[in-house]
Amino acid sequence: MVNFLVRRLLFMIPVALLVSFVTFMIIHLIPGDPARVLLGESATPQTVAALRHQLGLDKPLLTQYVLWLGQALHGNLGQSIQLQQPVTQAILQRLPVTAELGIISLVVSVALAIPLGVLAAGTRNTPIDWLINVLSLIGTSIPNFVLGLLLILFLAVVIRPFPPGGYVPFTQDPLANLRDLVLPVITLAAGAVAGNLRQVRASMIEVLSQDYIRTARAKGLRRGRVYFVHALRNALLPLLTIVGLQAGAILGGAVIIESIFLWPGVGLLAIQSILSKDYPVVQGVVLLSALSYMLVNLLVDVGYGALDPRISLGQSQ
């Protein structure tokens, strides 16, 4: 177990290095000069050159990368070119927003997926099952930016119970915060609910067909008890993997949602930074996202091993 953990953690190092290097190179391939963009206006070539020098943009690419890496290893992710603040600060400021959106969406998706999945499995091949399946398919198939725009159209513009976008920190106004949350969470959770409930349904069907469940039913245990206590516990294992993967990829999903609903989170920061070539920020966001993805994957594996003794952690891959 310890061996496994150490090996996995060590393996993350080359992967993280590669991720940061690739990001660095891609961003530098984007045409444009951040110094020029930043200075704007009547900036003379000398001023631009001076700023480029100050930002270290005049050094060879590899040198720039090595310098960045050296700083990053000391926990210093550099200074944002466009925001004029440290990258770490820029990310930390926005992280709670993305985390709130992501975590609540995950919780909502699991909270809806489990009962719906169990219901679908229990009413297999009936109209209820059929309806749930159709809804879940639509949920996975509708692009989330389309869903977001449609929600804005119907719930924020035509009738107006919800604001079309924006974000108020929970600490400042809990009620407003929750109201702002509704549409983005629906948008982000829709796909996940669909996926998760189909997983729950499939696992439940599989578990329910097994002998011990039949025995339990035959012994006269109540249906609800059999479903939720005996069957569900075993059906949840595969769900864990999927939720783990979803958690690791929150940022990817948040990009579009945050853009549509104007949430000042890390996803929006990422898009802005790519488009303005603010590479220190892109580096920071991608690195953060990649590390959290890998860590969550590791946690899922560990959790899986803990929950299911049949799985040995010794043999990965």
Binders of another protein among 207-236, rule CB under 8 A? none
> Of 56-64, 68-76, 220-228, 259-267, which segment contacts another protein by CB under 8 A?
259-267
99 CB burial (10 A radius; 0-12, 13-18, 19+): middle
Applying CB under 8 A, does 314 fall inside the site for another protein? Answer: no
Q: How far is the CB of 291 from another protein (least distance, A)?
A: 8
What would the two tokens of residue 191 be?
Answer: 């796909």
**Site residues for another protein, window 143-172 (CB under 8 A)?**
143-146, 149-150, 152-153, 156-158, 160, 163-169, 172
Applying CB under 8 A, does 134 fall inside the site for another protein? Answer: yes
Backbone angles phi, psi at 124, to 5 degrees: -50, 135
Backbone angles phi, psi at 238, to 5 degrees: -60, -30
- DSSP secondary structure code for residue 314 in this structure: T
Binder among 86, 112, 217, 238 for another protein (CB under 8 A): 238
What would the two tokens of residue 202 be?
Answer: 């499939």
Return the bridge partners of 79, or none. 86
Applying CB under 8 A, does 284 fall inside the site for another protein? Answer: no
14-17: list long-range contacts, CB under 8 Å, 24+ apart.
15/290, 15/294, 16/287, 16/290, 16/291, 16/294, 17/69
x/- binding map, residues 168-197, to another protein, per CB under 8 A? xx--xx-xxx-xx-------xxxxx--x--
Whether residue 281 contacts residue 269, with contact meaning beta carbons closer than 8 Å, is answered with yes
Tell me how many residues contact another protein (CB under 8 A). Answer: 127
x/- binding map, residues 60-79, to another protein, per CB under 8 A? --------------------
Binder among 5, 9, 54, 76 for another protein (CB under 8 A): 54
